[in-house]
């Protein structure tokens, strides 16, 4: 690895250790590395930051963020909780299943794991505490289940990956995440069932058909947003970016005019929060674009590819290594910068293995979702502990079985391509021939070509 690459990595890690904001760390490390390369960093960094955010697809991010804020504040969570209770509340430990199912539904509607933890957890955790469930168990369920909403569309992180990978279909990513998100939620429910059996947690009264219909009726308009967004994309009525704008209009009409949970005077605050969050994301994307440029110039992706492909010709072992590396990355880095930095590094490797880029994107997102629940940078874990009024130290032991379930789900997603690729093919978002040409799980056939690149 060349001097420029070592300078880039060393300065980046040093700034992270000094607790410098990650976007600033990326930009400063890139600036110094470009200077070491002999180019003018002021021109190169500025040009790459502008080009990095100059993407029509990225317009979807502020719209989905705003719609998520509207939904989180607009009373949707309570209606989804009532509906989920009619479906699974009668099972032993029923409230844990209700919590998980609601987080899956709300996370998919809002596209935000943090919003799911705060909105759903704000009601479910105190309610489960009152019914005799262990406090740390309640926080663990909410924290892990909320991450499934990042796999079930719409999802901002899928848009970020599509941009980082280059010309990957956002619609295909949306469809690819549905089954993996459901599988992750089911594995979490299995852990809930084990806890309910050993701890003798109570069950709720069985709902009648009439109560189920009433619950569905109250939640229907909230759930219909998924139909509007995904159905419109699949039908070719609008693009994923336009779907995000439609989601804002729909969420506004529902929460402000119909439910009336949000007052007009609250909108400026929500717009301000949206602007701040969008600015952070766009700064990360812009800074990461500059880092991607200098990484390419320093041959970092090719070097990493050569090392990983030189370890073994077995795709199972290589993907296991990549997953372990990403799990480590997720413990100290948030999802957006991790996707932006490591997609251009690992994508050439998995492409050499015959893994489809959409499949890899879902694997990466499922992997980094685990990092949202782990210290020291676990955003969902911090929010969950705050809502549940407990500490990370107390929750960690209870979280271990949930971590195990998420890792098992990750392995299924990694080594069973059909979990991610079947639905995009069936909905015509991917061509069957493209998926067939990705000879995943075969020995890499173009390793020499990849590792010999300058």
The tens-digit pLDDT sequence of the chain (454 residues) is 578 888 888 998 899 888 888 888 989 999 998 888 877 888 888 888 888 888 888 888 898 888 888 887 877 878 888 889 899 888 888 899 999 998 888 877 777 788 788 888 888 899 898 888 999 999 999 999 999 989 998 888 999 999 888 878 888 999 999 999 999 999 999 999 999 999 888 888 888 999 999 999 988 988 888 888 888 888 888 888 888 899 899 989 988 888 888 898 999 999 998 899 889 888 888 888 888 888 888 888 878 878 887 877 788 899 999 999 999 888 888 888 889 889 988 998 898 888 999 999 999 999 999 988 887 778 888 888 888 888 888 998 999 999 999 999 999 999 999 899 999 999 888 888 777 766 665 544 444 444 444 4
Q: Is the dihedral of CA 131, 101, 150, 405 positive or negative?
A: positive
- Written as six digits, the tokens of 372 are 């949202």
Which two structure tokens, joined as six digits, stand for 259? 């439910």
429 backbone φψ class: left, alpha, beta (φ>0; ψ -120 to 50) = alpha
Q: How is the chain split into domains, by residue range?
A: 57-451
Q: CA-to-CA distance for 187 and 446, rounded, in angstroms?
A: 36
CB 442 within 8 A of CB 315: yes
Q: Cα–Cα distance between 316 and 168 in angstroms, integer?
A: 24
- Backbone CA torsion sign across 411, 415, 418, 421: positive
Separation between Cα atoms, residue 412 and residue 409, nearest integer Å:
5
Q: Which of 357, 365, 355, 371 is nearest to 416 (CA)?
A: 355
């Amino acid at each position: 690895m060349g001097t420029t690459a070592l300078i880039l990595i060393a300065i980046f890690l040093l700034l992270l250790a000094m607790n410098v904001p990650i976007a600033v760390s990326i930009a400063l490390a890139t600036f110094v590395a470009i200077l070491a390369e002999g180019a003018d960093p002021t021109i190169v960094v500025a040009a790459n930051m502008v080009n990095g955010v100059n993407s029509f697809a990225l317009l979807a991010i502020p719209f989905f963020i705003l719609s998520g804020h509207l939904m989180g504040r607009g009373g949707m969570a309570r209606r989804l909780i009532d509906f989920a209770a009619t479906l699974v509340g009668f099972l032993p430990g029923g409230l844990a299943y209700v919590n998980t199912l609601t987080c899956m539904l709300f996370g998919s509607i809002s596209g935000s794991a943090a919003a799911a933890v705060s909105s759903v957890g704000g009601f479910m955790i105190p309610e489960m505490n009152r019914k005799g469930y262990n406090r740390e168990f309640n926080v663990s369920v909410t924290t892990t289940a909320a991450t499934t909403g990042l796999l079930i569309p719409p999802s901002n992180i899928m848009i970020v990956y599509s941009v980082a990978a280059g010309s990957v279909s956002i619609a295909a990513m949306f469809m690819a995440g549905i089954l993996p998100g459901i599988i992750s939620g089911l594995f979490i429910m299995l852990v809930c069932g084990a806890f309910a059996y050993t701890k003798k947690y109570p069950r709720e009264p069985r709902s009648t058909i009439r109560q189920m219909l009433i619950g569905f009726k109250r939640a229907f308009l909230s759930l219909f947003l998924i139909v509007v967004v995904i159905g419109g994309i699949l039908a070719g009525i609008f693009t994923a970016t336009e779907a995000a704008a439609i989601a804002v209009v729909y969420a506004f009409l529902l929460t402000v005019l119909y439910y009336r949970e949000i007052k007009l005077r609250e909108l400026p605050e929500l717009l301000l929060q949206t602007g701040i969050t969008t600015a952070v994301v766009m700064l990360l994307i812009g800074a990461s674009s500059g880092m991607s440029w200098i990484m390419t110039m320093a041959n970092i992706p090719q070097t990493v590819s050569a090392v990983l492909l030189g370890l073994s010709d077995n795709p199972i072992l290589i993907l296991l290594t990549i997953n372990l590396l990403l799990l480590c990355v997720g413990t100290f880095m948030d999802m957006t910068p991790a996707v932006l930095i490591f997609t251009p590094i690992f994508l050439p490797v998995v492409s050499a293995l015959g893994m489809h880029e959409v499949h890899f994107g879902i694997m990466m997102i499922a992997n980094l979702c685990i990092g949202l629940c782990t210290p020291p940078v676990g955003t969902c874990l911090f929010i969950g502990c705050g809502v549940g009024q407990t500490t990370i130290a107390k929750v960690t032991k209870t979280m271990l079985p949930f971590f195990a379930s998420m890792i098992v789900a990750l392995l299924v997603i990694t080594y069973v391509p059909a979990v991610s690729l079947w639905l995009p093919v069936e909905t015509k978002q991917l061509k069957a021939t493209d998926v067939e040409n990705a000879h995943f799980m075969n020995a890499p056939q173009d390793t020499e070509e990849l590792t010999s690149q300058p």
